[in-house]
Amino acid sequence: MKPTITLNAIALVVALGFTSCGKQTGTSQAERTANAVASYVAPGEKDEYYLFYSGGHSGQVYVAGIPSLRHISTIPVFAPYPATGYGFDEESKKMLGDFSWGDVHHPALSQTNSKYDGRWLFVNDNANNRIARIDLHDFKTHQILGPIPNSIGNHGSSFITENSEYILCATRFSVPLPKGRVADPKDYEKEFNGMVSGIKVDPKTGEMKVGWQILTPPFDWDLGSTGKRPSSGWAFWTSYNTEMAHDTLEVNSTQKDRDLAAVVNWRAAEEAVADGKAEMMDGVPIIDPARVPGVLYFVPIGKSPHGMDVDPTGKWIVAGGKLQPATTVLNFEKVQAAINNKTFEGEFRGVPILKYEAVVEGEVPVGLGPLHTQYDGKGNAYTSMFIDSCIVKWKLPPWTDEEKKDLTKVVLDKVPAHFSTGHLVVAGSDTAQPYGKWCVAMNKLSAGRHINVGPSQPESSQLIDISGEKMKMIAEAYTEPEPHFAQILKVSDVQPTEVYPKDENKDPNAVWEKAQGGVTRNGNQVVAKLMAIRSRFNPDRIDAQVGDELTVHVTNVEQTRDMIHGFGLIEHNINMVMDPGETKTFHIKLTKPGVFPFYCTNFCSALHQEMQGYLVVWKPGEGPSGASGAVGGTK
Amino acid sequence: MNTIIAQRNNPASAASIRTTTMTQRVSGLLRREFRFLHKPLNVWSRLLLLAAAVTIGASLFFPLWKMHLVAPQYSDGLDLYIFPYKIQGGGLNGQHLNEINNLNHYIGMKPLLAADFMEMRWMPFVFGLIILMTLRSVVFGEMSNVVDLFAVYSYFGLFSIGSFWYRLYEYGHTLDPHAPVHIKPFTPMLIGVKQIANFREYSFPQAGAYLLCVSVLLIGLAGWFSRKETFA
């Protein structure tokens, strides 16, 4: 059987570690110089684009510059990050909840009319079923939603709709629903379910809430994208494990030549919920697609596919079949016609399966292990090849008759990547008007290309110039683990603030003048309001006693960019970092007597080292004013 | 003519004659001065004076002076604008003033507080007074008004510059001996460029001051254009 032979061939190739793209040919000195200049950003000069890349199981989002590929900053999202005090003050601790890690996969910039509007960046947490919103006004996490009810393994997100109406998510795992119900995994087909979720985004504030969900069979939904222009209102996901295997998925979920991808009409889902066609489960309206026709369709895609990416025109949808040496191009007009004409090849659990031949435009033989496809807006597609370890440039339809007969003719160029590219990103690919110009390949293996740093090996990313007819490998960098996907935003398309203006600080416990600060006691509640300014805390002494509940509010009264102060408290696992104009709060119960210095942890000024004070924790009954010691006058 | 003859013929009376001549000359000068001061102002002079009044009024809306401080850490610079009635920092919400005070506290300099600048309370009043004097000259139309105006205005201008310099001297020489950083007392530059520790200070007049210069020029021209006026 042919597919088996192909698979065996792939296995052999992988086992031997060969790559059909071959070794990178040596570059001449002139090329090296030209490439160096192309990515060089001289001291004092700035990059042209932001690269927001997901940090995988580090739980964070990283910001790099393009073309330099320099790591510029880290945006902590799902894991504490002492460097910015994230996860130590009450507000960020509350956002993190009981979790101290997440698995960030697919960042999505907010869009207006299918273009980046520079307002928010949404990211998913595959591990704990959450979605976070980073505000690009200050490049900080402002909301973490979740764990999302009835959703397990929030991998197939964050896919944003054309006007940021929804963040759409699909589950990688299936469990007995609602969560908490237990069934034997042997009864997987019967008892387990997956889910597609519509997370509603407030158009003004960006505040997210769970809108509705669509119940699905227990396929493992993988990756997707949202429609635009002709495919407006639709969304698409691939799945693997249409076999519905519950054990040894490596084998049991790879038996069929095609898996069922989902074609979702999210506007119809929204309407169905408004029309009361949903049933509540764990507080969320759930749509059963068998009972609400028109919301969900299936389409077969070969084989064990991964990415399913809509092109900038909204007409072509390209799926990468990990285990078939081709990408599958669907024509949305044909999808629409098949739906209207009911050109189905069957149905699964009441959901129609569109006839493959009726919706497919062609299978492009790009090579082995196609995963993701991105677009430059000029009619070209770029697909990452995991097994071949390269990036393939090919031409989107419409194709000539000659090309249709032999689709190898639409494959235009290949450039080796090092090694095993997972996702790739072309600047603005998921908008209606990509910036083009640059592509970043996010490679899963660096396999010793770097100086030896021991067995824990970094991930590499590579910058490819796609402005010409042939792709050009320009530079590589070791991006923080582990980039799964990224978004590229032009620097001029966003205007972040550099300080929090004093008059916008609404914290009732903020203190802006010496006289406002101080320490007060009410029963065993001790509240300290501190002001941080170069190079002192005011007050710089807090007296309390064992058993007290201590709340400390620190306001950084600076209004100068980069004048950041920290508040590290010795032996109490506290480190807050306040940006200029920011007030942060922590709360602890004092359990041990002693004198504990606190100090500014974020280097601020020539007398930063002198910026310190004491928390004096008296034994009960001791202290300057007996048992109720709460000193700390201003100076 | 008789006087000259008498002087020649009678040397003894020459002294008294000289005195008489001197007195007559001074009287003549005073008469000419009196006549000059009472010269009417022609329409051009009055228009120039009106323009001067408008210019002085307009200057209130612009800074008189700007101090610009540049250091490696402050490559865009910190700005301090001096208006007749306020001092204002550059940057968002005038933040540069706080920043300058913040930095100055390390060398023990007093913070620059608008409340400490009492001249900023009377300066707008004086501006008003000068505008009134200018308008008075326009209405009364006599050369003496222009001279009054010129004298008072010049005095005010020189006094203000002197007072400004003294302010700078005082701030730079009244340093807290307990400050973390000890530096030799200094006077910030009034006009020009000066290096103070890691900062390069640029201090120059601004639009307000230039407008005032223009107004002085206009007043001078007003006098000049009516210098040959006579009573018709």
pLDDT at A24 over 80: no
Cα separation, A407 vs A402, in Å, equals: 8
pLDDT of A308 above 70: yes
- Mark whether B30 and B57 lie in a shared domain: no
pLDDT at B82 over 90: yes
A533–chain B Cβ distance below 8 A for any pair:
yes
Distance from C-alpha of B173 to C-alpha of B167, rounded to nearest angstrom: 10
A606 touches chain B (CB under 8 A): yes
The Cα B204–Cα B66 span in angstroms is 6
**Average pLDDT of chain B?**
89
Contacting B residues, span 176-215, partner chain A, CB-CB under 8 Å:
180
Q: How many domains are there within chain B?
A: 2
| CB contact at 8 A, A355 and A348 | no
Chain B CB contacts of A610 under 8 Å are 180
Q: Nearest CA of chain A to the CA of B97: how many Å?
A: 11
Residue A31: alpha-carbon gap to chain centroid: 35
Contacts with B95 from chain A: Cβ below 8 Å: 499, 559-560
β-pairing, A360-364 vs A370-375, is unpaired
Q: What is the mean pLDDT of residues A364-385?
A: 97
For helices B14-37 and B2-9, give the axis angle rounded to 10 degrees.
150
What is the predicted pLDDT for the residue at B74? 92
Residues B12 and B120 in one domain: no
Span A8-33, mean pLDDT?
59
Q: Which two tokens stand for residue B161?
A: 């510059």
**Interchain CB distance below 8 Å, A533 and B106:** no
Closest chain B C-alpha to A539 CA, distance in angstroms: 17
Closest chain B residue to A533, measured at CA: B102
Question: Which chain B residue has its CA at the smallest distance from A504's CA?
Answer: B93
Q: Which has the closest alpha carbon to A344: A298, A393, A396?
A: A298
Nearest CA to CA, how far is B111 from chain A (Å)?
Answer: 14
Q: How far, CA to CA in Å, does B160 sit from each of A596, B130, B174? A: 54, 14, 21
Tens of pLDDT, residues A36-64 = 999 999 999 999 999 999 999 999 999 99
Within-domain flag for B110? yes
Q: Are residues B8 and B109 in the same domain?
A: no
Q: Give a yes or no: residue B145 inside a domain.
A: yes
Contact B93 A607 (CB under 8 A): no
Q: Does residue B204 belong to any structural domain of this protein? A: yes
Going along chain A from its start, the domains and CATH numbers come out as: 2-493 (2.130.10.10), 502-628 (2.60.40.420)
Residue A515 has pLDDT above 70, yes or no: yes
Q: With contact defined as beta carbons under 8 Å apart, do A414 and A399 qualify? A: no
- The nearest alpha carbon in chain A to B92 belongs to A501
Whether B46 and B31 share a structural domain: no
- Contact (CB<8Å) B98/A606: no
Report the C-alpha gap between A448 and A478 in whole angstroms.
Answer: 12
Question: Does A503 sit within 8 Å of B93, measured CB to CB?
Answer: yes
Whether the predicted pLDDT of A626 surpasses 70: no
Q: Which residue has the higher pLDDT, A171 or B20?
A: A171
**Residue B230 covered by a domain:** no
- Do B112 and B25 fall within a single domain? no
Substitution target from B79, B96, B98, B178 for chain A, most A beta carbons within 10 A: B98
| Residue A518 β-bridge partners | A529
B91: closest chain A residue by CA: A560
Judge whether B192 lies within some domain. yes
Contact across the interface for B106 and A607, Cβ inside 8 Å? yes
Structural domain contains residue B231: no
User: Domain check: are B198 and B140 in the same one?
Assistant: yes
Q: Note whether B50 and B138 are same-domain residues.
A: yes
Residues of chain B with C-beta less than 8 angstroms from the C-beta of A560:
95, 99, 102
Which residue range forms the structural domain that includes residue B101?
A: 40-225
Residue B232 lies in a domain: no
Give strand pairing partners of B223. none
- Per residue in A410-428, pLDDT (tens digit) is 999 999 999 999 999 999 9
Q: Are A233 and A266 in contact (CB under 8 A)?
A: yes
Mean pLDDT, chain A, whole residue set: 93
Once rounded to an integer, what is the mean pLDDT over residues B134-146? 94
Cα A325 to the center of its chain, rounded Å: 28
Confidence at residue B147, expressed as pLDDT on a 0 to 100 scale: 93
CB-based contact, B92 to chain A, within 8 Å: yes
Q: Are B186 and B113 part of one and the same domain? A: yes
pLDDT at A635 over 70: no
Measured between CB atoms, does B102 come within 8 Å of chain A?
yes
Residue of B nearest to A561 (CA): B74
pLDDT at residue A481 greater than cutoff 50: yes
What's the pLDDT at B8? 55
* Cβ contacts of A558 on chain B, cutoff 8 Å: 102
Q: Do residues B188 and B73 share a domain?
A: yes
Which of B98, B99, B180 faces A607 most closely, judged by CB atoms? B180
CA distance A559 to chain B (A): 6
* Phi and psi based region of residue A44 (left: phi greater than 0; alpha: psi -120 to 50; beta: remaining): left
Q: What pLDDT sits at residue A470?
A: 96
Contact (CB<8Å) B106/A502: no
Q: Which residues of chain B make contact with A499, given a CB cutoff of 8 A?
A: 92, 95
pLDDT of residue B11: 57
CB A237 within 8 A of CB A301: no
Calculate how close chain B gets to A496, using CA atoms only, in Å: 14
Nearest CA in chain A to B90: A560
Q: In whole angstroms, give the CA distance from residue A219 to residue A319.
A: 17
Give yes or no: residues B106 and B129 share one domain: yes
Cβ-defined contact of B102 to A501 (cutoff 8 Å): no
Determine the Cα–Cα distance for residues B70 and B66; give it in Å rounded to an integer. 13
Contact between A534 and B102 using a beta-carbon 8 Å cutoff: yes
Chain A within 8 Å of B140 (Cβ-Cβ)? no
DSSP at A161: -
Specify the pLDDT at position A7: 47
The residue in chain A having the minimum alpha-carbon distance to the alpha carbon of residue B77 is: A560
Which residue of A560, A565, A603, A604 to mutate against B (max B Cβ within 10 Å)?
A560
pLDDT at A126 over 70: yes
pLDDT of residue B7: 52
Indicate whether B125 and B31 sit together in one domain: no
The number of residues making up chain A comes to 635
* CATH number where B203 lies: 1.20.140
**Which residue of chain B is at minimal alpha-carbon distance from A580?**
B95
Q: B47 and B14, same structural domain? A: no
Contact A560 B99 (CB under 8 A): yes
What kind and span of H or E run contains A261?
strand A258-265
Q: What is the pLDDT of residues A170-191, one digit of tens each?
A: 999 999 999 999 999 999 999 9
Tell me the nearest-neighbour CA distance from B185 into chain A, angstroms.
21
- Say what the pLDDT of residue B87 is: 92
Q: Is the pLDDT of residue A15 over 50?
A: no
